[in-house]
A and B are shown apart, each in its own frame.
Chain A
Amino acid sequence: MTEETKTNVNTQHTRRIQQIQVEISAAECDLTTLRSLVWHGVDCELRSYVWQLLIGYLPVTLDRRAQALERKRNEYLQYRAEIYEERSQHQTEKHLKDLKQIEDDIPRTQPDVPMFRDEPIREVLRRILYIWSVRHPASGYVQGINDLCSIFLIVFMMPYCSFRILAEPGSLPENMDELEADAYWCLNIMVESIQDYFFPSSPGIQRALIKISEIIFRVKQELIYHFKGEQLEMIHFSFRWFNCMFIREFSLPMLFRVWDALFTMQDGFRILSVYIAAAIVLRWEKELIGKNFSELMIFLQNLPTSRWTEREIEELLSQSYVYFTWFESSPNHLKA
């Protein structure tokens, strides 16, 4: 990249962030405009606010936001008192089992983010997950929801502790109760959009697996034939992609960019995620076609994305969008 194009990219970025700022502080936020701006990413300081708008937690009308937040935060504090603090009074066998599983998973949540080794943040995670599982008896706590929750916590804390949260353990922000409530509600809305991913037998994920296979088949038949020949099934490697929304597949900064994109689309976590998964597989089609079962599994479970930068993520997202426009609006295109 020449100095001149670098400057151009930077100017574009600055302008886009300014536009996002204007949009989110407008009396009436236009979600369509905001979505198209955020597709290309958003800064850490703005991300939490933007996600909360896009997911529908914050109202689009500026005047109504403070009140809505206050109501939601109080509601959560009430759950915390009734469901969590007084849990011993109305705990069922199922609740206890979920709590045990949550306990097991807490030390295994974001183990390389130092802040998650501190008890105060672990207690926050414990409360959110327990309350969520009690309020969702149809699924209860499912492993992987801890991962999803951690992303909201990290992103929502970032404007207050910046990168400290990723770099070193430290004390929690003063408004942590509010951030905890916001994380609970956003997790709640997000998981509700993919509820059936967490029902017994994961029917939602099963459907996503069929769809990713169909998309890949339409783009590159040979690859699906190769997988079949090697007896490789989508479930072997991409179950985790959907269950944890790619959290285990990318570094955090890159993962945030993937989620930015997922938030920009109505029902993005259900729909766009499948196209992203297909784009991941197809990106390496040439490498994959030469691999046997074991090699395929090892490659697809350890994607070489650790050094990815914005550029690779942008490419992946653009390609996902291309597949989305080819197939999503014309399902026959997919079936043909």
Chain B
Amino acid sequence: MQRTHDEDYDYLYKIVLVGEAGVGKTHLLSRYIKGTLPKNPTSTIGVEFATRTVPLESGGIVKAQIWDTAGQERYRAITCAHYRRAVGALLVYDVTNEKTFASVKRWMEELRENAEPDIVILLVGNKVDLCDRNPDSRKITKEQGARFAMENGLLFEETSAITIVRVKEAFEGLLQAIYNVKSQAGNTRSGRMSQTNHLATQLATNPKAQEKKCCGN
């Protein structure tokens, strides 16, 4: 379906924000989208949705559809249903809380099972502002995070939504990485195009997007 009333963009990427409850997913999203923290923070129930259109460093303009999910384990079955067609994920843990890091592996596996097979995952250690204030509060070192990411083929960032550390870089680094993966995959993706895939259809019907894809090849 041709969209005439949308703003101009070359690609539409669906990104999910996942991780244990209370690690700061909604804060990160609010900081990135609105530039501020949520005025009256409440727990996320179901899914919350936001979009932002971003010019990539190389590759064109991306519209990111970001799905912020509920973290409580009880909601896993529901949350998984939202992973469908996601091409990227921010998997967030809290650097001051070991439990939130211990469960990162399970989140990763669930993402790989339920989202697009070539999903790009960015592991995010959030709340580094707490360690700046009190170094003893850090429970997961930067090396631990980076090592896990490397061993499992994830990207890695440490962030703070409160003191604004690498929030924009995290989101936009992920978008760029998705673009790079997609453009390398090139024509081999034609199989997926033939499905009634919302995002793929979007790419296929956007002549500008087609052109970019060829250039990226």
Contacts and interface: CB of A to CB of B under 8 A. Distances in A.
Interface of A: 101, 104-105, 107-109, 111-112, 139-140, 142-144, 146-147, 198, 200-202, 229, 231, 235-237, 239-240, 243-244, 248, 290, 292-294, 297-298, 301
A248 B42 contact: yes
B46 interface: yes
A301 B43 contact: no
B61 interface: no
Interface stretch (B67-75, B117-125, B204-212): B67-75
B97 to A, nearest CB: 10
Contact of A294 (B47, B65, B78, B82): B65
A108 B41 contact: yes
Contacts of A240: 45-46
B51 A140 contact: no
A292 B48 CA distance: 16
B113 to A, nearest CB: 16
Contacts of B81: 235
Interface in B13-72: 21-22, 39-43, 45-51, 63, 65, 70, 72
Interface residues of B, number: 29
A239 B21 contact: no
A202 B51 contact: no
A298 B74 contact: no
B77 interface: yes
A142 B78 CA distance: 13
B203 to A, nearest CB: 15
B198 A293 contact: yes
Contacts of B6: 292, 294
A298 B70 CA distance: 17
Chain B interface helix/strand/loop/mixed: loop
A136 B65 CA distance: 37
Contact of A143 (B1, B3, B40, B45): B45
Contacts of A140: 74
B5 interface: yes
B5 A143 contact: no
A83 to B, nearest CB: 21
Contacts of B77: 200-202
Contacts of A301: 48-49
A103 to B, nearest CB: 9
Nearest to B23: A104
A255 to B, nearest CB: 14
A292 B201 CA distance: 14
A248 B44 CA distance: 10
Nearest to A300: B49
A290 B6 CA distance: 12
Contacts of A107: 41
Contacts of A237: 46
Contacts of A101: 21, 72
Given A143-B43, A143-B75, A198-B74, 15 more contacts: A105-B43, A107-B41, A109-B42, A112-B39, A140-B74, A142-B74, A144-B43, A231-B198, A237-B46, A239-B45, A244-B45, A248-B45, A294-B49, A294-B63, A298-B50
Contacts of A201: 77-78
A108 B78 contact: no
Q: Which 6 A-B pairs have the closest CB atoms?
A: A239-B46, A111-B40, A104-B22, A297-B49, A240-B45, A201-B77
B40 A112 contact: yes
B43 A294 contact: no
Contacts of A202: 77-78
A200 B50 CA distance: 27
A7 B65 CA distance: 51
A248 to B, nearest CB: 7
Contacts of A229: 1
